Structure 1
Amino acid sequence: MAVRKIILSIIWLGFTAYTIWLAPLDQPDTLPLVGKLLTFQYGQLNAIIPTIFWLMGVWPMIYGCLMFADGRMQNLRAWPYFIGANFTGVICLLPYLILRKPNQEFDGQKDKWLDFFDRRSTGIFLLLATISLLLYAVIAGNWQDYIYQFKTVYFVHLISLDFCLMCLYFR
């Protein structure tokens, strides 16, 4: 267990340092790109970029389905990490996963939020959203352009790495 926490801590420290010092988001192209993503101006974007951006909203929901039931039995609350993960991805998610204690039991009653995250329909919705987004990227995306943007646009680079780290840890 300690080895897993050490590895996660190294990943968290490395990605956080990389984000701050080697690929900072205070670039001139970041705000216009985020603005297009948030205002659904996808006609001007490669389909892969909004797909990754919105999948970075789906991943915290998937983790939320696991965190909130487990979070009831932890010394730390899952909500701050869940909310932070919606804005910063693994930078806020990994500290929760590092600090939590293994727990296989749930004790207590489900409140409305826990009931929502524990529903089968929530899982089905998240699965369908993920498949739809991936299909959109595969069908409408330009992979050569995405690779170019991955190499040249820090925001695209970071959300792509963040997405990979979210997928990598989920097992």
Structure 2
Amino acid sequence: MPKLRCNNRLQLTNMGKKGQTIIFYGHGKGKTSAAIGTAIRSIQAGRKVAFLQFIKGNWITNEEKFLSRQDNIKFVKFGAGFVRNKKSIKHKKAFLKGIGRAVEILENNKYDLVVLDEILTGLELGLISSREIELLLSKKPLALDLVLTGRKATKKIVELSDTASEIKKIKHIFDNKVLAKKGLDF
């Protein structure tokens, strides 16, 4: 049987020209963790990263502490905590402030990777429309890699992405009223 050879340099060159749009969505655990892993790989490769968190409150997580100590990353939160009332003006204002900053970052084109963590949860909560996310995707510079996370993605958003991973909850300890554990969940 002949040996197969892989020209890694050619593959890496071809992959590097066009940025990718990646989405991690669904009701399972691990969407933000997947985005953080992508950001860490990017930072380690010497790339500049902007990590914007929507929805989540102003408490400082261990992930945020770690990422904030790294070079080449801008970590910003735009959230008023967990959304209990979908019509809350406080949440809508915080979310819109984050969208404005995301548009600025995309238009400035200073980053190699931009992560919009929980932006798709805003879609589920009615804080942003699918059309608005589609417009945001259209502002992505050609070489930029973009990661979106959250609970819901429309068929159109999935079609516009290069990679879409749906993370499905099979079972979760929170369903048994067990609180989040420091070092494991935050």
TM over 0.5: no
TM-score, normalising length from structure 2? 0.26
Whose helix fraction is larger, Structure 1's or Structure 2's? 1
Greater per-residue strand proportion: 2
TM-score, normalising length from structure 1?
Answer: 0.27
